[in-house]
Amino acid sequence: MSERPVDPRVHQYRHTLPFGAQPIGGGKTRFRFWAPSRDHVDLEIEDGETLAMTGSADGWFECEANCGPGARYRYRLDADLAVPDPGSRWQPDDVHGPSAVIDPFAYQWTHSDWRGRRWEETILYELHVGAMGGYNGVKARLADLASLGITAIELMPLADFPGRHNWGYDGVLPFAPDSAYGTPDELKALIDAAHGHGLQVFLDVVYNHFGPDGNYLHSYAEPFFKAGVHTPWGPAIDFDRPEVAQFFIENALYWIHEYRFDGLRFDAVHAIRSPKWLREVAEHVRRSVECDRHVHLVLENEENTSSLLECKPGHACHFDAQWSDDFHNTLHVMLTGETESYYGAYAQTPATKLARALSEGFVYQGEPSPIHDGKPRGEPSGALAPSAFVAFLQNHDQVGNRAMGERLTRLVEPRALRAATALLLLSPQIPMIFMDEENGSTRPFLFFTDYTGALADAVREGRRKEFAKFAIFSDPERREHIPDPNDHRTFEQSAVPHSSEPSPGNEEGREWRHFYQSALAVRNKLLVSRLRNTRSLGAQVLAEPAALDGESAALFAARRPPARSGTLTSHGKGGGVRAQWQLGDGETLTIAINLGDHPLSLGDMPPGKIIFETPDRVRDHLGGAQLPPQATLVWLTGDLHSFLRPHPEVSA
């Protein structure tokens, strides 16, 4: 149950959990803990009493204790094992330490009148809180991000993980924001301040697995997992069990209501293997949210299940959108020529695949996938709105899962990268930028953890073994140069500069920033207000890049940068596409992109006004309707004076 005080002068929020520690007033706290694998559980209050908890036939243990906010506690299972609360709101001493009782009403919200923004207004900025200096470090960047044109920040997972730094996908206590970044109230202050700047805040949540260190569930709740069923990250969670399903539903409601997040991104839901539960959690969120508040739910789903994204008349959508790996993968192949690993599914006719991604969303809509053992992947998606897809050129996965963490600025010529970026920022799909991308950052974003002992060795060697299948790392000596995830320097290399502006003298960085700001200004002023009810008018291939044969592929791999280098390596494979959409007000948006080294024919030039181009003044070189190399052109039909009028439906 989510609570909002009746008194409008009091701006406090709490989601009342059916488990964990709940202050009930009078210096007392109620504790409730599910331990079906145990017959007896004691509650241990640090520097206080130890109480035997009352058990029930369905595995629940509960009691009340004379303690209030600030008290630290554990559940004692036997003489040798006391565990933190799986519903802990705060772990001041990390995942193996005691949990702390928290009063959610302690934080006074300043911007409680915030109701969010429409999904079509969303321009996402994915960031890692630790790499940006913790909650307060992110908070210091908000005004700058708003001035850039960003309308939403997306935080990588916060669930408490072991050690000082981690990507967040190894969390083990889903209700406890990690103490390495600050306190719960500092997280609330970050979200509160973001709302004051007109920024939505999204949270990446991981419900498909727990990390390998600090997860005690097996010791007291074995039925939490499906016996004999495994995911790539460990035992599969049993979402068919009501207690387990409710645990994660409460987590989603908790972040939305107690922390006032504007949306959630559900990580790798294909590993959850329960579309029924996904629909259930979405329905719980939709029913719980105030009718005038915008809350958005986004999936990462390798299975391309378009039915989860459908919006039926008279019914709320289950999920607003899905991360579009297909958009990224096709453009990455066209930009870099890389075809190893999952890029192999996009190696053939990538421009045709890009045209499909722009016009229909998913590239794979039931066709056999070369990287899924030839099994069909996906469902038809052509009827979905363009805004049902979150497009990106870079994110934590696509950069950080490279052995050396190279950003595209290390792999692609600036002119070609600008052309692809213009397509990203001005197509009707929802664009997402990865932190510091807007400054043309060349800093790597590496995979980092903070494990010790045998687990640290296993993670380091496992990662190096994983890359042995890549041609450039077939040499064991070269693999030794892959950074150790547990070396603190690996995290330090991935941290972004303290200043949100490029350093003095970094003229290239300033040019990149101006480019992003200009493109986003066009999107916010000319497109956002008319994206609702937009539909595709189709896309055509202007040219396919020449296929890499075995010899040229080997040469491409050979000129890749050495492990310790970051030199530019490729002009890319090229190719070109032209796509059109009918916007919500009936006008037409057209984007043409040429990533090759030769001009491409545009065919019939549609009427209208050019609203963005890269490189500058590319329109002066359109003789014979030829689009120059490594260029993008964006134009609109209709009277531009009408586009420039203010639209009241756009949030300030």
242 upstream amide cis, omega within 30 of 0:
no
Contact 529, 650 (CB under 8 A): yes
Q: Closest Cα partner for 570 from 581, 582, 558, 587?
A: 558
Distance CA 608, CA 627 (A): 16
Which residue, among 20, 294, 300, has the nearest Cα to 157 in the 3D structure? 300
CA–CA distance, 573 with 597 (Å, rounded to integer):
9
- Give yes or no: 42 in active site: no
Which residues have CB under 8 Å from 466's CB, separation 6+? none
List, in sequence order, every residue forming a beta bridge with 431; answer none if it has no partner. Answer: 391
* Rounded distance between C-alpha atoms, residue 213 and residue 235, angstroms: 14
One of 94, 267, 320, 436 is an active-site residue; which one?
267
User: Which tokens in the block code for residue 648?
Assistant: 């009241």
> Which residue type occupies 309?
L
Query: CB neighbours of 245 closer than 8 A, spacing ≥ 6?
Result: 239, 277, 280
Query: What pLDDT does residue 620 have?
Result: 82
- The 3-state DSSP class for residue 236 equals strand
**3-state SS assignment for residue 288:** helix
Residue 317 C-alpha from the chain's centroid: 20
Instruction: Quote the CA–CA distance of 430 and 531 in Å, as a whole number.
Output: 10
Coil, helix or strand for 613? strand
> Is there a contact between 22 and 16 (Cβ–Cβ < 8 Å)?
yes
Q: What are the helix and strand counts (H, E) for the chain?
A: 16, 32
Structural contact between residues 502 and 513, judged by C-beta atoms closer than 8 angstroms:
yes
Find tokens 């772990």 and name the residue. 91
| Cα–Cα distance, 602 to 488 (Å, whole number) | 51
Chain mean position to CA 321: 12
**DSSP character for 365?**
S
pLDDT of residue 371: 85
- 635 by DSSP, 3-state: which? strand
What confidence score (pLDDT) does residue 477 get? 87
7 close to 36: Cβ distance less than 8 angstroms: no
Are 339 and 553 spatial neighbours (Cβ–Cβ below 8 Å)?
Answer: yes
Residue tagged active-site, from 300, 320, 379, 544 = 300
What token pair was written down for 318? Answer: 């289950």
Distant-in-sequence, close-in-space partners of 403: CB < 8 Å, separation ≥ 6: 463, 467, 470, 473, 482, 563
- Give φ, ψ of 649 to 5 degrees: -80, -10
Burial label, 591 (beta-carbon count in 10 A; 0-12, 13-18, 19+): buried
Q: Which string of DSSP letters, residue by residue, matches 412-478?
A: B-HHHHHHHHHHHHHSSSEEEEETTGGGT------------HHHHHHHHHHHHHHGGGSGGG-SHHH
Find tokens 């035992």 and name the residue: 235
Decide: 324 and 391 in contact? Cβ < 8 Å.
Answer: yes
**φ, ψ at 146 (rounded to 5°):** -65, -40
* Mean pLDDT, contiguous 10-residue spans, the chain (652 residues): 52 95 96 98 96 97 97 97 98 98 96 96 98 98 97 98 97 98 98 98 97 96 92 89 98 98 97 95 96 97 96 82 97 95 93 98 95 91 97 97 96 97 98 97 97 96 91 89 96 89 81 97 97 96 75 38 34 83 96 95 84 91 85 83 38 28
Residue 137: both structure tokens together: 């470090």
Tokens of 117: 């923004």
For 572, phi then psi, to 5°, come to 85, 175
Told to judge if 238 belongs to the known catalytic residues of this protein, a careful annotator would answer no
Give the helix/strand (H/E) hosting 176. strand 173-177
Give the C-alpha separation, 87 to 516, whole Å.
Answer: 41
d(CA 10, CA 8): 5
Whole-structure pTM value: 0.93
- Alpha carbon distances (Å) from 350 to 291, 377, 386, 538, 541: 43, 17, 20, 16, 10
The DSSP result for 39-60, as a single string, is S--EEEETTS-EEEPEE-TTSE
- Closest Cα to residue 389, out of 400, 378, 402, 401? 378
Q: What is the pLDDT of residue 624?
A: 73
